[in-house]
Structure formats: structure tokens, C-alpha cells
Chain A
Amino acid sequence: MEELFGLPTIRLMWIVVAIAGVAAAVIAYIFLKRPILVRMGLRNIPRRRAQTVLVTMGLTLATIIVTIAFSTGDSLAVSVRNLALNSLERIDHFITEEETDDSAEDAGTGIPDQVLLDLQSHFADDDRVEAIFGSRFDLVPIEHPEAGQIEPQFFLVGVDPQTVDRLNAVRDEDGDLLRLSELDSDEIVINERAARELDAEPGDQVRLYVRGSPRQFSVAAIGRDAVLTGNLEAGGSGGLLALDAYQSLLGPQLSPPDRWDSILFSGAGGVEAPLEFSDALDDDINDAIRAFERQHPELYLSNGLTRFDSDPVKADSLEDAELIASVFTTLFLFMGSFSVAAGILLIFLIFAMLAEERKPEMGIARAVGMQRNDLIQMFISEGMVYNMGAAVVGVVLGLLFALGFIAALNQGFESFGFVFTWTVTIKSLVISACIGIVITFITVVFSSFRASRLNIVAAIRDIPEAQYEETYPLTPWRVVRNVLGVFTTAIGLVLLLTTPFTLILGAPVALVLQLIGSRWSRRLTPWVLLFGWRVLRWNPQWWVLFIVGGLMVLEFGLGQESFFPYMTGVSLTPLGIVMGLNRLRLGGRRLNQRLLYTLGAGFVMFLWFIPNDWHESFFDNNLNGGPELFVLAGTMLTAAGTLLLVFNLDLIVGGVRRAVGGIGRMAPVIRTAAAYPAAARYRTGMTIAMIALITFALVNFTTINSSFSQAFTGNDTAGGFEVLAFNTDVNAVSDIRAGLADAGATEVIEDIENAGRIEAGPERGTRAITVLTERWDAVTERHILDRDGGIQLVETNLADVQIDDRDAVVVGGIDSEFVDGQEVKLQAISYRYENEQAVWSALRSEEMVAVATVDAIDGAFGFADSDLDPWSVPDTVTDEATLLPRIVIEVGLGENARQVEVIAILERISGAFVDLDGENGSLPTLLLPESVASQVIGQSESTRHYISTRAGADTLDVAQGIERELRIFAVDIQGELKRQQQTQTSILALFQGFIGIGLVAGLAALGVIALRAVVERRQQIGVLRAIGFQSRLVGFELLIEMGFIALLGLGLGTALALGLAWRLFAEGTFGEISMYVPVGTILPILIGAFAASLILTYFPARQAARTTIAEALRYE
């Protein structure tokens, strides 16, 4: 992978190496200067081994996540690159015919041979070009009678054998060269995929069908899946014939002798060498074509527009490989950010607990003269040893996880024919390890600062800090100083965004940069120094930071019309106010903390759960956001939810006790188990937050994905049809029943209830335009309600509409049987039609009417470019969900142009299978009555057969029967949906597994707390045992306690995730897709996480149970 976030990965590597180097230098400095501090820090590591393991485990998270992301990215980059290179082999550039809006006389019939000759002549002396040759290809059904297998979508390629042999461009499945010129006229090379589908081997006899007539060929060899062997799309079944054999098979009508489907360029020097000059050569090819256009416009131009273009296919494929890798890595890092956040919380928690554990000794150390900085250095030393260990373990674990993910990806994409190879580069390893080290280092430094803040007396006496809490009078100077501090931080953040590592590394690195001449360093150094000084001197009042910083980012968000900063500010400001009020003393007394935090946290949650429109209308702003809001929502909601929980834990605990506390001898166990978490808010809150954060990500992601999956692969998608069959150029069947009857397949006919069809026009919609005649504003302004409540309309003039306003659609003509068989739902219908039945009746009666897919509204019908909203309706119309204004369009050009009225919009989901541009997804579909469509598109390009089967019929049998008897491609829709569901499920599981790694943080936190509890409550355990707690009850108490925290975290995360998902679905963020809660997926995840928390707590619990009473009572 060469780039990430637009930054070359090599530069990224040097940046993180430099920062990690600074971290190492800090440790080296401490070690050399004050070795005693390092020794004091390190001696704790072997003392508590279990704790050391848990701490390391927690610290590995960031490294694991980044390693997985990078290794998966590398694997995808290399796999897709190899796939592209193997598939294209010696082909570097394609010349294809552009699909234009209009046609020259012979447009669409292929590339004239003269173009090939012109190009060959032009590049004859160019050293970069080894060969230029033409190719023909088409879909031809193939059958392997002996195995009883048929493949209707077999991509047959025909090329000149001498040229291909000269290029050594075709290889067999073992990678050995194949000589095409040695093929007999009745011999064919089929690719690996075709061999598998047909169960064919070299020497087998296969039949190719053209217009229903079979021609027998012998399989000469199995060629590697590649473009020249018909593997145009990954996983495509195909084969290769010598050009003569191809021409002879297809005949002059389907394959005119002076035409090519594409012209191929092969660069000199092998497979990868031409990539060096690919861009330059591509420019030269296009320049040559532009020159030919000027010389022979009649040949090279179509209606004045460019007809031919060069595509640097190999370079593009490799760029795509990079892009895919970068997208996946970004996606993984994005998803992994929850885990990294949980890992950071874990580090904070661990250090807080380490500090708590060592409080008396730190207090004594401070009392006898140790500086606060010494404590910080001691903690940093210890943290960095954990950090280094964690980096190594994290990289190893990350690689293992990535290996598993690639295996899972392979399983998910198996049916598509992709095979990914697990790969990792040294660069990625270095980046992963260093990023882990850097994240942990920064967190450790902050944690160490926090841990070092202790009241010496409270520490020595090991009593709560609160008793010695200093009260800061709220002087104006303190406020001013903090506001200044916030601004300084803001400047620092700007610098951070501009040059991340200059800021983080501070002055020394800035100096180094200055020496090596970075243009930024001179400008930034004073700022960095200033910022560094501020950080060192500034005693931050977080509430001021939250309020002022929050308002600043809120304002910034409004200015930028961006939800992310806006919601950050909206979330931080109320929390800052609450924190500030918490410091207030009225009459010497604090305000009610529970009330403050409940209100503050509740308000933040409220702000996240109200529709976006409310925010926008409140500030009269149009805010935009992307998936990054998902991370922000998770973080802020979890923070607010956790505050809400921890400040009301006593109420929850009371509730729990009332509910289950009276169960016999368990009563005291439950009482103590519930009381401890409520008494230790900080650690309970941190642990709840960690578990909730990951649960939020898991449940929200799973719910949204499953809702999409359910919508697009659910039964509704089929639109009432069970089998879909496609005609091709070389094999067309206009009437399925007649075709089957001719073939004598009566058993298949008997299973067919209904067989409708769509005759589809050119997929690029070269002849389609759409024009809006009326919009709701016209209706609103000029409508007259008649006595029956109808609306009288005024027509507008089409003459004003320019050709440039036209947009492409794919036009399809539907027959009456299609209308009869369909169960496609309509999202909206014209107010001129009473109901859906009236719409379909109009289509059946061949009126000048049409229905369109929903994409047409914004695109082809032009609503996106106007201020008009087709979905809004006049106040007088009440049933708004089903009504459309009158939309009349002109479709087609010149003599073929027709005006039709769009009377309904198809629902996206149930209309998915009638979306004629479904695979490309870029053009809307317009369905007209067949007779009207034929006037617009002339002869159809393809026919789709929509078949409903009789009750009890096996739909797979029907699809296979049609393929077998008619040799056209047929799909069992339900089977196809199931296959897609399986793929989506396995990919979903992959991401769930990835996000779920973050749960390790929560579980490790529980483990750390449990271990700590065993130590710090040793005396209490002794007392409990003395007064009659049996040993198993002591262990059980700890299990219930940790289980209680885990349940709170899991419950909070689930509730927030479902709440946010509900809001998003309710406000239509995902269009018409309804929310679907996959209980069957979520519940096992939650149960598994809960079980894991109990398993991890089991060992400390056992340790607690085995505590020797007398020793425990003696323990101090």
C-alpha cells in the first residue's frame, strides 16, 4: 500500500518512527539521568504477574488494530494487484467504443478495422509498443454434454493467434505458455472457472450455441483465468478461440469481419515494465486518436463527439488495487477507532489503579523529597516497558488476526472467485508497531501526570483524596488564564492538524527539521515552544476547556456547515457547564452532584437523539456529516450514558437489591456485590464506558448492516418473481413458454405460472431524455380544487427545455404478463391515479405512461438541481405518502421522441430486480408499456424474462430447466438472494470480529479491577469469611460484582446503539429501509461477552475464595 489518507505510507512510516524515537529517547534520558526511578518503576512488573499480563493485553489493543488494518490493506493491495497482473498479462491499454447519446450511422456496431490499421501504422516505430491487435468477444452459451453441464454466460474471445503467441500472452492453469496458433479450427481453450463450472478437462467435447445452433469443439487446454481467456470480470466463465474459428462460429452478422470489439495495446518489456510509461503512452494514444478525428471525422466522431478512447487498463487496475487497499485500511482503522479508544481508557484505568495501589509509598516518597516529576518519570518508565512488550505482542497478534480475517474474506468472496493472499510489508509492520507505541506513550504520559497528582497526607494515610481536596477560589484571573489556555490549545490543535509531528515532538524535532530544511519548521518553532510552555505551565481547568473549547468548535461547525465539530461542541459544552457548576459552593455546600450530572448527561443524550433537522432549524443552518459521526456519536453517547449511570448507580443498586436481594443466603452476597461498584465510581465508570463503547459499535453496526441486508436480500426484493432469465445477442428467446415447448420441456412449462418480460434499451440511455412539465409549486400556486376535491392543472411548455438538460435513463418495455405477475411495490403514485392497481392497468392498456425507479426523481427528472421537492405536497392533499405531482417527460430523440407521463415511482427494494441498470447503479430505469418503449428504443438490446412459478414448484429446477433447454442465463432469485445473504453475513461477521477485539479492553479492565479488588479488599474478605461468608460465596460475590458491571456496560452500549439506530432510521437517513434488529446475531454476541467477563473474573474470584482468613486479617 503506497498511500493512506492521501499521505505516502513511507512518509507516514518515518513520521511515526520519529515520534516513537522521541518516546524511546525520553526513556533513555530518564534511564541515564535517574536510573533509580526506572528501577523503582520496573520492580513492580514481576511482582504482580497476572496484572502485568492484563496490562500488556490492554496495551496491545492499539497495535493489534493498526496491524490488522495495515496487514489487511497490504493483503488486498497485493492480491488485487496480482489478480490484475495475472488477468491482464501482456495487455496494457484498451481502445473501446464510447457509448454516446446519439449515433453515427454505424455506431455501436464495433470498431472499424481502419482504426486498428491507423493505430498500428502510427505506433509502428514506437519502442514502447510491442503489439496492437484487435479482439472480438460475445456471450455464447456452452454445454458439456458428457457432464450434463451448461453455462449460458460463457464469454468467448477471438484473437489473432500469431500475435498472441508472439506476446506469450496466454498461459495454462499451471502458468505454462499456450500456443494459440497450434489450435485446430475445432479446438478451444476454456478458462479455469469454465472448467470448474462445466466439469471439463482437456480433450472433452463441448458445444457452443449460436442462435440455437450447436457447434462442437474439443477442449485443447485449460487457460489461466485472464482477460484473453474470457475472464473479463473476476470469476467469469469464458474461453478463447483463434480469430478464424471465432468468425466462423459467430458468422458475419454477429461478428462482421471488418469490425473489432476492442483494440488491445501490449507494451514492450513484459508484464510490469510497460507500467513505467503507461500514462505517457496513454496520452500519446489519445493524441493520435484526436488527430485521426480531425483527419477522418466521419469515421472517428459520432454526432460530433469522440467515439473512441484509450483506457490504460493495467495501470488503472493497479491504481484500483491501491484504492481498495487504502479504503479497506481506512475502514478498518475507522472501525478500530472504538477499540483504540477503549484501549486508551484501559490505560488510564490501569494507571489510576496502579497509582491507587502505590499511594502510600508514593506519599512517603514525596514526603521524603521525591519531586512530582520523579513520580511521572517513574510511571513513564514502567509504562514504556509494558508498551514495548505490548507492541511486540500486538504486532504478532495483529498479524494472526489479519491471517484469520483474510481467510474469512476468502470464504465470503468464494462465490465471486476472489482469492486473497495474506501479506504484510515491513513498512506496515513498522508503522503498526510505532503507532501502537506512540498512542500508548501519549496516554501513559497523560496518565502519569494524573497519577502524580496526589495529596501527600492523604496518600500516606491511604485515605480518599476528597478529604484533602483543595478548593480553588474562582478568581477572575484564574478564569482568564484558563480561557487563554484554551485558545493556546486551539492554536496547538491547528498546528497539530497542519503538521502533526512537529507539534507532538515539540521543539527538539522542530530544531532537527530546521536543520534539514523543512519549510514549516521555521514558522512553527515559536508556536511549538509557546505551546510547550503553556502545557507545562498551565494548570487546566477542564470545565473551562470544555465550555470555551466546546463553543469554539460548535461555532466552527456552524461556519463550516459540518455536523462533526458542531456535535462535538454541542456535547462538550453542557458537560463543561455541569463540571463548572460542580465546583460551585452555595453557602459552603456543593450542588447536588447526582442532579447536575444526570441533567447534563441526559441533555447531551437528548441532543444526540433528536432529529438532525431540529439542530439545523434551531441555528438555521444546513449541516453535513459523514460516517465519522458514527464514531463521535458512539464516544459522546457512551460518555454521557456512563455519567448518567455512575451518578445514579446507588439507585440502580437499590433497585437490583430490591429485585433479587432477598433470595435466601444470596442476600448478603448481592448486597456487597452491588455496593462495591457504586462506591468506586471512577473505575466502574471507566469499565462500563469501555464495554459500552465497543458494544455500541458492534450493535449499531450490526443493526444497520442487517437492516440493509434484510432489505436488499430479503424476499420482498424479488418483486413477486422467482426466476429471472436473460437473453443475449447470440441466443435470444422472445417467448419462454414457446421456446420450452419447442424444446419439449413440458415439465418446466407446467411449473411456470407467469412469464412476463422487459425489453430493455441501451444501458447507457443514449436516446433517453427526461423533462419535467409540472412541479408541485405550479400545482400549489395555480391549482384549483374542484367540487370533488380533484386538482385542476395547467400544462407547461416543453419547448423551453434545452438538450443539455437531458439526462440518461435506461428504458424498458414491459408486457402485460409482467404486469400480471409482478408484486412490485410503488413508493409513490400520481394523484391522478386512485391506487396501485390503476397504475398497473394504465401500463397494461398501453397508454403513454411510465413508472420509474426512485433515482430518476433527483437525476433524470431534475429535482436535484431545483429547489422543488417532488415529495412535498400542497396543504390540500392529505395522503402525501402516495402522491406525486404530474410529471410528463420526453423520452427518446428526434423522430423517436415521445412524451409520457410518469405515474408512479417504484419502491427501491421491491423494485431491485427490475432496476435495469442494477449492476452499474448509476442510471435510473424507466418502464413503459412494451408498444410505447419500442417506439422509443427501436429494437431492444436485451430481453429479461420475469417468471413466477406455481405453488410447490422447485424454483431452482425451473431456472436450471430454462438454462438447459434454452441455453439462456437463468437465476433462481431466492437462491441468489440466499447466496448474497451468506456473503454479507460472513463479511459482517468479519467486521463484528474486528470491532469485537475492542471488548478485550473491557474484559481486561474487569480482570484488572477484580485482581485489584482481591488485593485491596483482603482484610474485608477476611472479615467476611470470619463472620460467616463461605469461601465460595466470597468468590461468587466478586463474580456477581464484575458480572454486574459487565451487564451495565453491555446494556448501556446496546441501548444507545439501538436508540441511535432507531433515530437514524426514523428520520429517513437510510431512505425507505426499515430498521431490523438482528436479535439472533446480537444476543449471542452479548451473551458471549458476558460469559467471557465471567471467565476472566473467575480466576481472581477463585483467588479471593482461597484467601486465608487469618492472613487476610493481618494484611495491611
Chain B
Amino acid sequence: MSSRSIEVDAESAPQKAAGDAIQAGPNGPNGAEPIIAASGVHKTYAGAGEPVHALRGVTLSVARGEMVTIMGPSGCGKTTLLNCLSGLETIERGEIFVEGRSIHDMPDNERTDHRARRMGFVFQFYNLLPVLSAVENVELPLLLAGLGQGEARDRSMEALEQVGLRDWSGHRPAQLSGGQRQRVTIARALVNDPAIVWGDEPTGDLDSTNANQIMELLEDLNRRNHQTFVIVTHDENIGRRANRTIHMRDGLIEGETIHRQLGS
């Protein structure tokens, strides 16, 4: 495990460097091709009082197949960074490339389509639709992608099988435990075989046993499917399970810790 500081730019100078770095091609921490490359990302929330600078020029890249955790104290901008990288939020300045496409420039509909096809999401509070059964929740992204109902159902059942919930497919979220709900969320995130899975405190609402099980599941999926995982957490134990942990403070990346090399 090694730690190093990443060059960050509070105002302007490093933005160019970061841009150069992204354009330079495979310069991920493990020398792999970056699937996510962000440079000089700024995000400000205009509230009722003073504007809040949530991101103040973040530059980073994530390699394909890498599992990265983002950590930091509350309010440091972890979730905002994840939202911006995944295209859930727009940015004011900077650039974000996902799979080589500039997600910050895309119109909303295109960005949404991109999410539907290439991304999966796991949230802290599961955010399943309470009115649909487990399998129906899992099916949604596939139906959105235009798959037929039969095929969508088969693939959803497979996804539930992967997370060990095949027998619970007909249950509604309210009839499942917290850990089971999160497994359904993971199945939903993975069902359309996304390139990147984003997790915002995926174990935050779970006890340690369930949290471990979920992380084991995510690690396993990451290894088997070679999908990229970007996970926001403030649990050190979770952080250590990733290839790399990015540390944030006050809207800036202040450093990173490499736990294990990609592919190891």
C-alpha cells in the first residue's frame, strides 16, 4: 500500500496539467486506460446564503476495471464528485470524459441514455421503487434499454441469482431486509452489464455483517466482470477493499492511497 499526493488545483494552473494528463492517454494509477477522466471540475451550489463551492477543481482518472473508493469527511464533496462524474449533475467548469466521451457536454437526453446503457447505481438507502417487486425493480433498466419483457425477466432473474435472491424475486422492498434490499439494488445496477457501477455509501445503512457481505459481493463482481466501481464511503474497512482510495477535503482531492494494483 502506498500513499501519494495528487496534484490538485484550487484555482486554475493544474487544470491544464490535468487536461494534458488525460489527453496523454493511459495514465491511470496502474498505467491502464482511464475509463473516467476528469480535470479541473468545479461545482458550486447557490443556496439562500453564501454559495457553497462543493468541488473546487478536481482532477482524477479511473482505469477500466478498477475499484476506487472516495473518502473524506462529511461535506467534503464526495457525493457531489460522484454525481458529477456519473452525469447526474452538471458542472460549471472543467471536463469529464467517461469512456472517452465528454459527459459534461452531452445534452440531458443523451446523458440519460448513456447512463441507462453504460452505468449502474447503488445508493445508501437502496432507492428501490416500493410499488414494484424485486424482479420488477431489476428489470427496469433493461426495459428502458428496449429489451423485450421475456428477455428482461430472464436476465433479471439471473442478476438476482448472482446476488443470491432468486427466491425473493416476487417480494416487494418492504418485505425484504436491508441487506436484501441492497442486493436487489446491486442486481439492478449490474443487470444491463454496465461499464461503471457507482456506489454512494452502499453499505451506509447496513450493519457490519451485511456491509461485509455486500462488499464481498461487489469485489467478486468486480473481479469476475471487470467492471469499474467507484464507491463513495467513509468506512475505512470498505475503503481498504478497493484498489485505490481517493481522499477528499473541502472540495479538493488531497491525496490517494493505493491498496492493491489493478489486476492483482
- Which residues in chain A, 1058-1116, are within 8 Å of chain B measured between CB atoms? 1108-1110, 1113-1114
B115 x A1028 contact (CB < 8 A): yes
Q: How far is the CB of B188 from chain A (nearest CB, A)?
A: 7
A1028-B129 contact, Cβ under 8 Å, with A662-B149, A1110-B80: no
Is B125 in the interface zone, CB < 8 Å from A? yes
B112 x A1020 contact (CB < 8 A): no
Q: How far is the CB of A727 from chain B (nearest CB, A)?
A: 76
Determine the residue in chain B with the shortest Cβ distance to A680: B131
Q: Which of B143, B145, B174 has the most CB of A within 10 A?
A: B143
Is B83 in the interface zone, CB < 8 Å from A? yes
B140 x A668 contact (CB < 8 A): yes
Is B89 in the interface zone, CB < 8 Å from A? yes
B123 x A1113 contact (CB < 8 A): yes
Q: Could you tell me the distance between the alpha carbons of A94 and B88 in the complex, rounded to whole angstroms?
A: 88
Is B161 in the interface zone, CB < 8 Å from A? no
B146 x A672 contact (CB < 8 A): no
Is A675 in the interface zone, CB < 8 Å from B? yes
A1110-B88 contact, Cβ under 8 Å, with A672-B131, A1027-B141: yes
Q: Could you tell me the distance between the alpha carbons of A678 and B143 in the complex, rounded to whole angstroms?
A: 21
Q: Could you tell me the distance between the alpha carbons of A676 and B144 in the complex, rounded to whole angstroms?
A: 18
Q: How far is the CB of A1013 from chain B (nearest CB, A)?
A: 11
Interface flags for B178-220 (1: CB within 8 Å of A; 0: not) read 0000000000100000000000100000000000000000000
Is B108 in the interface zone, CB < 8 Å from A? yes
Interface flags for B88-99 (1: CB within 8 Å of A; 0: not) read 110000000000
Is B127 in the interface zone, CB < 8 Å from A? yes
Residues of B within 8 A of A676 (CB): 131
Select one of A668, A679, A1029, A1030 contacting B131, CB under 8 A.
Answer: A679
- Which residues in chain B, 108-133, are within 8 Å of chain A measured between CB atoms? 108-109, 112-113, 115-117, 120-121, 123, 125, 127-132
Determine the residue in chain B with the shortest Cβ distance to A1028: B116
Is A589 in the interface zone, CB < 8 Å from B? no
Interface size on B, residues (CB 8 A): 36
Q: How far is the CB of B9 from chain A (nearest CB, A)?
A: 23
Q: Could you tell me the distance between the alpha carbons of A1030 and B141 in the complex, rounded to whole angstroms?
A: 12
Is B263 in the interface zone, CB < 8 Å from A? no
A1026-B88 contact, Cβ under 8 Å, with A464-B174, A668-B144: yes
Determine the residue in chain B with the shortest Cβ distance to A661: B149
Residues of A within 8 A of B108 (CB): 1030-1031
A671-B121 contact, Cβ under 8 Å, with A661-B149, A1020-B127: no
Q: How far is the CB of A674 from chain B (nearest CB, A)?
A: 9
Residues of A within 8 A of B115 (CB): 1026-1028
A668 x B79 contact (CB < 8 A): no
Residues of B within 8 A of A464 (CB): 174
B121 x A1027 contact (CB < 8 A): yes
Q: How far is the CB of B191 from chain A (nearest CB, A)?
A: 10
A1027 x B140 contact (CB < 8 A): yes
Q: Could you tell me the distance between the alpha carbons of A345 and B108 in the complex, rounded to whole angstroms?
A: 41
Q: Could you tell me the distance between the alpha carbons of A677 and B128 in the complex, rounded to whole angstroms?
A: 17
Determine the residue in chain B with the shortest Cβ distance to A1017: B129
Q: Which of A678, A1023, A1028, A1109 has the most CB of B within 10 A?
A: A1028
Q: How far is the CB of A1017 from chain B (nearest CB, A)?
A: 9
A1028 x B113 contact (CB < 8 A): yes
Interface flags for A642-673 (1: CB within 8 Å of B; 0: not) read 00000000000000000001101101100110
Is A1022 in the interface zone, CB < 8 Å from B? yes
Is B148 in the interface zone, CB < 8 Å from A? yes
Is B66 in the interface zone, CB < 8 Å from A? no
Residues of B within 8 A of A662 (CB): 148-149
Is A1025 in the interface zone, CB < 8 Å from B? yes
Residues of B within 8 A of A1114 (CB): 79
Q: How far is the CB of B127 from chain A (nearest CB, A)?
A: 4
Q: How far is the CB of B39 from chain A (nearest CB, A)?
A: 20
Q: How far is the CB of B111 from chain A (nearest CB, A)?
A: 10
Residues of A within 8 A of B123 (CB): 1023, 1113
B129 x A1027 contact (CB < 8 A): no
Is B136 in the interface zone, CB < 8 Å from A? yes
A671-B88 contact, Cβ under 8 Å, with A661-B149, A679-B130, A1031-B108: no
A1027-B132 contact, Cβ under 8 Å, with A661-B149, A662-B149: no
B127 x A664 contact (CB < 8 A): no
A1019 x B125 contact (CB < 8 A): yes
Determine the residue in chain B with the shortest Cβ distance to A1027: B141
Determine the residue in chain A with the shortest Cβ distance to B120: A1027
Select one of B83, B86, B127, B144 contacting A1029, CB under 8 A.
Answer: B144
Q: Could you tell me the distance between the alpha carbons of A679 and B125 in the complex, rounded to whole angstroms?
A: 20
B145 x A1028 contact (CB < 8 A): yes
A1027 x B146 contact (CB < 8 A): no
B131 x A1026 contact (CB < 8 A): no
Q: Could you tell me the distance between the alpha carbons of A587 and B72 in the complex, rounded to whole angstroms?
A: 53
A675 x B131 contact (CB < 8 A): yes
Residues of B within 8 A of A1031 (CB): 108-109, 112
A1026-B121 contact, Cβ under 8 Å, with A665-B146, A1110-B88: yes
- Which residues in chain A, 56-111, are within 8 Å of chain B measured between CB atoms? none
Q: Could you tell me the distance between the alpha carbons of A1024 and B117 in the complex, rounded to whole angstroms?
A: 14
Q: A1027-B188, A1109-B89 are in contact. List 6 more A-B contacts (CB 8 A).
A: A661-B149, A671-B140, A675-B131, A1020-B130, A1025-B88, A1114-B79
Closest 9 CB pairs of A and B: A1028-B116, A679-B131, A675-B131, A668-B143, A1023-B127, A1110-B83, A1110-B89, A1109-B88, A667-B143
Give the interface of B toward A (CB within 8 A).
Answer: 79-80, 83, 86, 88-89, 108-109, 112-113, 115-117, 120-121, 123, 125, 127-132, 136, 139-141, 143-146, 148-149, 174, 188, 200
- 26 residue pairs of the A-B complex, CB under 8 angstroms, read A662-B148, A671-B136, A671-B143, A672-B129, A675-B129, A675-B131, A1024-B140, A1025-B88, A1025-B112, A1026-B86, A1027-B140, A1027-B141, A1028-B112, A1028-B117, A1028-B141, A1028-B144, A1029-B112, A1030-B108, A1030-B113, A1031-B108, A1031-B109, A1109-B89, A1110-B79, A1110-B89, A1113-B123, A1114-B79
